[in-house]
Amino acid sequence: MKYLENDENRGKRIIITVIGPDRVGIIAGVTGILAANNFNILDISQTIMQEFLVMVLIVDSENSRLDLSMLKDRLAAKGAELDVRIDAQHEDAFKFMHRL
């Protein structure tokens, strides 16, 4: 998650979280949407928490024309298809809570 400390692209970064049972095609599904809409992936990490796959992607929205609201809709639709929950939030929601 080191990219969050780099302030160059501050305000343009979005955090995408994927939570659900692990299965084939999750990363492909999410990254496919991101690539098609010109979001640059800065970091991906994943872990297993209480039997669920938890994946967090940090993406740069600088060169994308899709706004956060529309990205959320597309990811949510893909999530429904893959039976996982996918959400996208502005990074400030996390930085503000955990950092001064």
Partner 1 sequence: MLTLQEIMETITMVQEEHLDIRTITLGISLRDCADTNPRAACQKIYDKITRLAGNLVPVGEEIAREFGIPIVNKRISVTPISLVAESSRTDNFLLFAETLDRAAAEVGVNFIGGFSALVHKGITRGDQKLLDSIPSALDITERVCASVNVATTKAGINMDAVALMGRIIKDIAQRTADRDGLGCAKLVVFANVPEDNPFMAGAFHGIGEPESVINVGVSGPGVVKRAVERVKGSDFGTLAETVKTSAFKITRMGELVGRTAAARLDVPFGIVDISLAPTPAIGDSVAEILEAMGLERCGTHGTTAALALLNDAVKKGGAMASSYVGGLSGAFIPVSEDAGMIRAVEEGALHLDKLEAMTCVCSVGLDMIAVPGDTPAETISAIIADEMAIGMINQKTTAVRIIPAPGKQVGDSVEFGGLLGRAPVMPVHRFSSANFVGRGGRIPAPIHSLSN
Min dist CB 78 to partner 1, Å, is 17
The binding site for partner 1 (CB under 8 A) comprises 1-2, 4-5, 15, 17, 19, 45, 47, 49, 54, 56, 68-69, 72, 87-90, 92-99
Residue 46's alpha-carbon distances to 20, 36, 49, in angstroms, are 12, 22, 10
Min dist CB 100 to partner 1, Å, is 8
Q: How many helices (H) and strands (E) does the chain have?
A: 3, 4
Min dist CB 85 to partner 1, Å, is 8
State how far the Cα of 78 lies from the Cα of 3, in Å rounded to an integer.
26
